[in-house]
Amino acid sequence: MMQKFAPEFFIGAATAAHQVEGNNIHNDCWAQEQMQHTSYVEPSLDAVDHYNRYEEDIRLMAEAGLNAYRFSIEWARIEPEEGRFDETEVEHYRKVIACCKANGLEPVVTLHHFSSPVWLISKGGWEAETTPADFARYVRFIMERLGSELHYVCTINEANMGVQVAAIAKRYMQQMMAQAAKGQIDGGVQMGLNMEKMMANQKAIAEETMKVFGVAKAECFTSPRTAHGDELVMEAHKAARAVIREVCPHIKLGLTLSLHDIQALEGGEGPAQKDWDDEFTHYLPLIEGDDFLGVQNYTRSRYDANGSMPAPDGAELTQMNYEFYPQALEHVLRTVAQSFHGDLIVTENGIATADDTRRVAFIEQALTGVQNCLADGLPIKGYFYWSLMDNFEWQKGFAMQFGLIAVDRANNQTRFPKPSLGYLGSWRS
């Protein structure tokens, strides 16, 4: 018999605007999806039309027993051109917030979830000195209009994503150089990257990027980030926090981080510690003034003397090629709580799989881990499964099935709740 969570504990699901709304025509992801030399396997187009069907989607959550919904506001809808704000789009999100409340769901709003306005990228994007002030201006606009209706706000989703992407890119280059030294370069590297073709296309990509963005290199939020770019993201969060504290002092705020359960095998203690410092510890001075930290975890990372290791032989892998390892969440929450002393909210945790029984098993083990933490007094306030619906998984397109709800995009975007949706809701008392 499962132990239920207290009524005030958030049991919810999460989405990101660009992945579900459709037709976010003013942002950088949309622009890149349309490019000839694109890394996206397909364009988002209508996505799953959540922009028009949010009432149905929120109702499905409420009927299943969920009591919270984490969603993002699309900056490029609000400010499609620099300095020009769209009040009509603000009213759209006001209706989404009202719909949540009418259905008994707490709206938890993310102000930036990966996608940015095209004009921001044209100014140098997330490596530009002007970006923190631009972000703060947008945050002020939103808070002055919608802040009185909110209690929880995430400023930036996975503030450390660009650092993680930079580390992955560096590893790939090292693998490429090692292969080249052995005469083994074959153009195919894991994760479906065709590095040889990418290198050959670099000139054409730069020319097309110049045409689309007015710069030769698009510094998007999920691009490999420099150390200075990382500092600018921190400055953007601090600037947003100052605005929210000034305009809406009642709001509890934080950012979210992508965190792996980092495990060191013999000899791997050094590399493991370095990656945890890059992923989490060096953000501590930034987030100690926040009310909560959004913890986002999907799997573990193991390290030996040679660095990062692949999943163990025979391990169950998800559609994303992550190891099925739901106990990672409990480990990460315990580790984070040793040094961050504000509240914790699991803002993302989930699995991409076509087998919903494995999703139910994943949720069961993850939530049991959360309850173990609560029993030991950790200040965890909620759990948001990623994602509410099968949606547009960025460069991988629509093939990844993270959702509690299936969507038939070819048949009028019809929704089909999976057993896992009701199962998640059954954990609430």
Q: What percent of the chain has pLDDT over 70?
A: 95
Query: Which tokens in the block code for residue 236?
Result: 């953007």
- How long is the chain? 429
Query: What's the confidence (pLDDT) of residue 185?
Result: 44
CA distance 144 to 148: 8
Q: What is the pLDDT of residue 186?
A: 41
- pLDDT of res. 162: 92
Instruction: Determine which helix (DSSP H) or strand (DSSP E) holds 302, and give its type and residue range.
Output: strand 300-304
Q: Please check the confidence at residue 423 and state whether its pLDDT lies above 90.
A: yes
Q: Which residues pair with 428 in a beta bridge?
A: 5
- Residue 177 has what pLDDT? 77
**pLDDT tens, residue by residue, 220-274:** 999 999 999 999 999 999 999 999 999 999 999 999 999 999 999 999 999 999 9
In the chain, the N- to C-terminal Cα span, in Å, equals: 13
CA angle, 312 then 313 then 317, to 5°:
75
For the beta carbon of residue 80, count every other beta carbon within 10 angstroms.
Answer: 18
pLDDT tens digits for 39-71?
A: 899 999 999 999 999 999 999 999 999 999 999
Query: Does 179 have pLDDT greater than 90?
Result: no
Predicted local distance difference test score (pLDDT) of residue 200: 65
Nearest to 52 by CA among 321, 425, 412: 412
Q: What is the pLDDT of residues 77-94, one digit of tens each?
A: 999 999 999 999 999 999
For position 350, what pLDDT does the model report?
98
Provide the pLDDT for residue 2. Answer: 82
Structure tokens at 24: 């976010």
- The rounded mean pLDDT for the chain is 94
β-partners of residue 117 are 27
Element (H, E) at 224: none
Concatenating the DSSP letter of every residue in 7-67 gives TTSEEEEE--HHHHS---TTBHHHHHHTSSS-S-SS--TTTT-HHHHHHHHHHHHHHHT--
Per-residue confidence (pLDDT) for residue 391, from 0 to 100: 97
pLDDT, mean of residues 419-428:
98
State residue 183's pLDDT score.
Answer: 58
Share above pLDDT 90 across residues of the chain, in percent, rounded to a whole number = 89
pLDDT of residue 190: 35
CA distance to 73, 124, 226, per residue, from 128 (Å): 22, 5, 11
- Which amino acid type is present at position 275? D
User: Tell me, what's the pLDDT at 327?
Assistant: 98
Q: Which helix (H) or strand (E) holds 222?
A: none
DSSP-assigned letters across all residues of 137-202: HHHHHHHHHHGGG-SEEEEETTTTHHHHHHHHHHHHHHHHHHHHHTT---SEETTTEEHHHHHHHH
Q: Which amino acid is at 264?
A: A
Domain spans, the chain: 10-425
Q: Is it true that domain 10-425 has CATH number 3.20.20.80?
A: yes
Q: What angle do CA 357, 6, 71 make, to 5 degrees?
A: 65
pLDDT of residue 196: 56
Looking only at the bridges linking them, the beta strands covering 68-72 and 292-296 are unpaired
* Type of residue at 218: A
Amino acid at 95: K
Q: What is the pLDDT of residue 132?
A: 98
Q: Give the residue-averaged pLDDT of 33-37.
A: 94
Residues 331-342: what's their mean pLDDT? 98
Q: For residue range 295-328, what is the model confidence (pLDDT) as tens digits?
A: 999 999 999 999 899 999 999 999 999 999 999 9
The pLDDT assigned to 169 comes to 82
Residue 28 confidence (pLDDT): 98
Query: Does 24 have pLDDT greater than 70?
Result: yes
Rounded to two decimals, what is the model's pTM?
Answer: 0.95
Q: Average pLDDT of 162-191? A: 69
Asked if residues 421 and 64 have their Cβ atoms less than 8 Å apart, the reply is: yes
Predicted local distance difference test score (pLDDT) of residue 348: 98
